[in-house]
Chains A and B, each alone.
Chain A
Amino acid sequence: QKEVEQDPGPLSVPEGAIVSLNCTYSNSAFQYFMWYRQYSRKGPELLMYTYSSGNKEDGRFTAQVDKSSKYISLFIRDSQPSDSATYLCAMSGEGSGNTPLVFGKGTRLSVIA
């Protein structure tokens, strides 16, 4: 079992839909949780950063962390064609936060106009 599991999709939704992206993990030491967006042949771009459990909202994006279930989610409201990309969850452990990131495989999202 990999440390971080993420359904690779592809996921196709109509414009305006609410998108739910998820990852599960096995390492209880993870405390820092991130979502990155990656367009084709580009580097990952940080979208959301969450420490420990709880919710965080930024515009159309909401990140949720449930450490008891080892489950994290990213919700995208009012999805736009420009949101079409691969979404990578990433996490790291230890209080110092200086450990390397462990990534999921990424979920490929297409938002159809």
Chain B
Amino acid sequence: DTGVSQNPRHKITKRGQNVTFRCDPISEHNRLYWYRQTLGQGPEFLTYFQNEAQLEKSRLLSDRFSAERPKGSFSTLEIQRTEQGDSAMYLCASSSRQGNTDTQYFGPGTRLTVL
């Protein structure tokens, strides 16, 4: 499978615990995005990497959230001291600019439940 992969697919944790998610983009894609989606809403942008550089962060990304993309390959998203409001689907997308297009392809998501 050459699509975007995400692990784990589901994560249940207790409030206050730390969690880490992983995203493996499509191999030739240099851009990687993290989004968060809550029930009944569209995905909302969290942060974006071009290669290993984190170029943009949303104001939704509080100090408890950190993302990395070492060596410009896979990326991790860590949430520290989880809160019930962090319960959501965390989506990763990757893209590669071709001309004027920059089509983002999404992974299956990691569903986080904070008890």
Selected from B40, B42, B97, B107, the residue in CB contact (under 8 A) with A103 is B42
A8 to B31, CA, bound (A): 30
B103 within 8 Å of A by Cβ?
yes
Is the beta-carbon distance between A103 and B43 smaller than 8 angstroms? yes
Is the beta-carbon distance between B103 and A49 smaller than 8 angstroms? yes
A46 to B33, CA, bound (A): 15
A75 to B53, CA, bound (A): 38
Is the beta-carbon distance between B102 and A98 smaller than 8 angstroms? yes
Is the beta-carbon distance between A101 and B45 smaller than 8 angstroms? yes
Is the beta-carbon distance between A101 and B104 smaller than 8 angstroms? yes
Is the beta-carbon distance between A46 and B40 smaller than 8 angstroms? no
Residue contacts A-B, CB under 8 angstroms, 29 given: A6-B42, A8-B40, A32-B101, A32-B102, A36-B106, A41-B89, A41-B109, A43-B107, A43-B108, A44-B91, A45-B106, A49-B103, A88-B43, A90-B42, A92-B102, A95-B100, A96-B97, A96-B102, A97-B101, A97-B102, A98-B31, A98-B102, A100-B56, A101-B43, A101-B93, A102-B45, A103-B43, A105-B41, A106-B42
B interface residues with partner A (beta carbon < 8 Å)? 4, 6, 31, 33, 35, 40-45, 48, 50, 56, 58, 89, 91, 93, 97, 100-109, 111
